[in-house]
Amino acid sequence: MSAFGAAISEHPDAAAAVGEVVGAVVERVGLAPDMAVLFVSGHPVGGFDDIASAVHELLSPHTMIAATTGAAIGGDLEAEEGPAVSLWVGRVGPAEAVRLETIRSKDGTAVLGMPDDAAVGQRTLVLLSEPFSFPADAFLHASNEQYPGLAVVGGVASVPGGPGSNRLFVDGSSHSDGAVGILLPEGLGEFIVVSQGCRPVGVPLTVTDAAGNLVRGLGSRPALERLSELYDDADDLERNLISSGLHVGLAVDERTEAFSRGDFLVRGVIGVEQADGALRIGARAMIGTTLQFQVRDADSARADLKDLLTTVDADAALVFSCNGRGYRLFGEADHDAKAITEVAGRSAVAGMFCAGEFGPIRNQNHIHGFTASMLFLYG
């Protein structure tokens, strides 16, 4: 028997799909694994409970989480069209289920359900959240302070629609809000890779004037002036990318002597304030922060993922890819899945397309967009 296994079924009949994936992983790993993670796409949301409950009953895992998704991943397949059920299981030791609920009161928003600090320690949390009810960004920011040894990887359920369009499942119980997760045992042998899919352009600059997410000054000059200078110096290809896919990278650790790709948290440029030459970005920018412009396209995303995976040789992987990737970005099917199975094999890779991906940059947990966040395991 193997320590890890995964299977995907595109059978349109839910019962048949459940039988196919459970049968395949049991043949590889056996019954009652320590943990199971299930991803369901294309099936009616109302049928998710039946699918998850059936897998839970047939497989008898120690702990199990599941989520609805716009597209499921299994092996080297990204099932972007039609129904799919993807199941991942592992014998990892004592894993612990987590159910997170959001409480809103006059005193503010709080997330309840995490174990105490001592129980978390140096561990990894695989987290699946509902998009409308769970403050993922705030939770991840708080986790960096309260649980400094915790790494969070996962993503936001991504079936299109408003509240109620997505479902979560943990250990026999289905939910339409909050988040569910599994805390892996400490010292398991895991490695998280976050491919933000961008490449830097220009040079790093210091934020010299800012308020909230409005960046007014870069290197003691108006931010828009710096951007115009970058555009004027660029070739035709880079000008097209600046016009259509401009982002910024904010340095995670200012103590870094020479910044490179993995040192930045990438966020989008969401607006221009012509009156004062400012840029509005998708994050708060503090004065003194190092910022570098970034561009994203299929070639940049492809090269970034390939480069990051050169250091990986794993036995299994859980994959959380943005729903803006896939065929619509790369113009080819199964791009991320094929690249990941080259370093982790086809028999123990599964995942989902997300409406936001969780993963650490420089040991700080963040929510991302357009990324592939991957948990690799060795066993």
The 10s digit of each residue's pLDDT in 108-142 is 778 889 988 878 999 999 999 999 999 999 999 99
CATH number, domain 198-296: 2.40.30
**Gap between the Cα atoms of 155 and 180, Å rounded:** 11
Return all residues near 117 (Cβ < 8 A) that are at least 6 apart: 146, 147
**φ/ψ (deg, to 5) at 219:** 60, 40
Predicted pLDDT of residue 93: 96
Nearest of 364, 166, 354 to residue 265 by alpha carbon? 364
Closest CA to 370 of 359, 378, 379, 362: 359
Which residue from 286, 141, 273 is spatially nearest to 213, judged by alpha carbons? 286
Neighbours of 239 (CB within 10 A): 15
pTM of the model: 0.94
Cα(209)–Cα(249) distance, integer angstroms: 16
Q: Is the Cβ–Cβ distance between 284 and 267 less than 8 Å?
A: no
Which residues lie closer than 8 Å to 150 by C-beta, 6 or more apart? 120, 122, 123, 124, 125, 143, 365
Backbone angles phi, psi at 161, to 5 degrees: 125, 180
Please state, in angstroms and rounded to a whole number, the distance separating the CA atoms of residues 283 and 260.
Answer: 20
Q: CB neighbours of 67 closer than 8 A, spacing ≥ 6? A: 38, 39, 40, 128, 157, 166, 167, 168, 169, 180, 352
Identify the pLDDT of residue 258. Answer: 83
**Phi, psi (degrees; rounded to nearest 5) at 294:** -135, 155
DSSP state letters, 29-80: H-SS-SEEEEEEESS-HHHHHHHHHHHHHHH--SEEEEEE-SSEEETTEEE-
Q: Are 154 and 174 in contact (CB under 8 A)?
A: no
Residue-averaged pLDDT of the chain: 94
**CA 251/CA 264 separation, integer angstroms:** 4
For 278-337, the pLDDT digits (tens) are 999 999 999 999 999 999 889 989 999 999 999 999 999 999 999 999 999 999 999 999
Regions of the chain short of the pLDDT cut 70: none
CA–CA separation, 251 and 254 (whole Å): 6
Rounded distance between C-alpha atoms, residue 181 and residue 143, angstroms: 14
Q: Sketch the domain layout of the chain as residue ranges.
A: 4-195+301-377, 198-296
Amino acid at 281: I
| Strands, sheet with 357-361, edge to edge from the N-terminal-most edge strand | 108-112, 96-105, 179-183, 124-129, 151-156, 357-361, 364-368
Which sign does the torsion angle of CA 21, 26, 28, 34 carry? positive
CB of 277 closer than 8 Å to CB of 220: no
Query: Cβ–Cβ contacts within 10 Å for residue 238, how many?
Result: 16
Instruction: Kindly list the distances between the CA atom of residue 310 and the CA atoms of 95, 96, 193, 243, 339, in Å, as whole numbers in the listed order.
Output: 29, 31, 11, 31, 10
